[in-house]
Amino acid sequence: MLAVTNVIHCDPDILSGEPVFVGTRVLLQNLIEYLTAGDSLETFLDAFPSVTRPQAVAALELAGEALADRAHPH
């Protein structure tokens, strides 16, 4: 899996500091909205070609890990 620093970042100078995919101006929220609407990962990647498949997959893996960590405190 890619390191989080190669996947998502927040910069106050890019879209008011909202989380975006590194090297793009594509919001992480866009991925969530596409998937929530029932669109495939392929559809998202076609709509946002500046996001790589490894970035999108890593973002989903990181989100899953974060949710799991919150659900099961260590």
pLDDT of residue 12: 94
Band of the pLDDT at 50, cuts 50, 70, 90? very high
pLDDT of residue 25: 96
- CATH code, domain with 25: 1.10.10.10
Burial of 22 (0-12, 13-18, 19+ CB in 10 A): middle
Q: What predicted TM-score, i.e. pTM, was given to this entire model? A: 0.86
pLDDT of residue 73: 65
pLDDT of residue 26: 98
- 8: pLDDT strictly greater than 70: yes
Burial of 59 (0-12, 13-18, 19+ CB in 10 A): buried
Range of the domain at 43: 4-71
How many structural domains comprise the chain? 1
